[in-house]
Amino acid sequence: MSDEMSNRENVIVVRFPQDSHAYEALTSLKQLDSQGQIDVAGAAVVVRGEDGHVEVKDAVADSSYAGTLGGGLVGLLIGVIGGPLGILIGGATGLLVGSLFDVDDADDTQSALSDVSKSIRVGETALLADVTEPITEVIDAAMQSLGGEVLRRSAADVEDEIAAAEKAQREAKREARKQLLEARKQLLEARQEKHRNQIRAKIEELKSKLQPHQKATSETS
């Protein structure tokens, strides 16, 4: 089996019946990484609040990611599923519930981001990680020993969808600004027209007052 086929980079989300198991799972991933069985680019124990925000409780990051979780895929992903972009998907840009993919769509379109977001439920602690693994059984066995339920999606698919979501957000912002400017223009025009009408009304009022006076003057002359 080739390296390309045997080593795949995936994003995994693991839910546990007990919060403490998520922290144990993070330690387990680090051990598997140190043993060379997998490569962990980034991992975090996270919890989603009632407002949809995703909070990082504990994390590790590979040194190749500028030394911080925020510089890697996991950091980007957390920002998307628990931040402003979340509104566009049904929750951002943090919708009301804070996740782009928390609202069921009418169609059956498959989305890696949606799957990941839905797996991190309100009030629950989960493990989120970016890993390269020769076989899935290594992580599956480690997580199952802690009662964990593993969701796995291709890191490439997640990256592509993040890029698409960010593009959609930029386009939505441009469209919103365009509509705002148009609304302001219409409001200004309406105000100007109202002002013109008020001036016309005042002129007509003055004319009506002057006409009797002018008529009386002409009759006495």
Considering only CA atoms, which of 126, 115, 46 is closest in space to residue 79? 46
Q: Are 78 and 56 in contact (CB under 8 A)?
A: yes
Which of 106, 105, 132, 179 has the alpha carbon at shortest distance from 37?
132
pTM of the predicted model as reported, rounded to 2 decimal places: 0.64
How do the domains of the chain map onto residue ranges?
3-175
Residue 216's pLDDT is what? 58
Residue 148 DSSP SS3: coil
Q: How far apart are CA 197 and CA 189, in angstroms?
A: 12
Residue 214 has a pLDDT of 57
Instruction: Pull the structure tokens for residue 187.
Output: 């409001």
Q: Are 63 and 75 in contact (CB under 8 A)?
A: no
User: What is the number of other CB atoms lying within 10 angstroms of the CB of residue 57?
Assistant: 14
What pLDDT is recorded for position 102? Answer: 43
Residue 185, pLDDT score: 85
**Tell me, what's the pLDDT at 218?**
60
Q: Tell me how long the chain is.
A: 221
Pick the closest to residue 83 from 43, 122, 48, 119 (CA basis).
Answer: 48
Contact present, 44 and 59 (Cβ < 8 Å):
yes
Beta strands in 62-163 (DSSP E): 125-133, 149-154
Q: Which residues contact 152 (CB under 8 A, 6 or more apart)?
A: 10, 11, 12, 136
Q: Which residue reads 């330690």 in tokens?
A: 27
The pLDDT score that the predictor gives to residue 77 is 87
Locate tokens 């546990």: which residue? 16
Using 70 as the pLDDT threshold, list the residues of the chain that sit under it. 1-6, 62-71, 83-109, 211-221
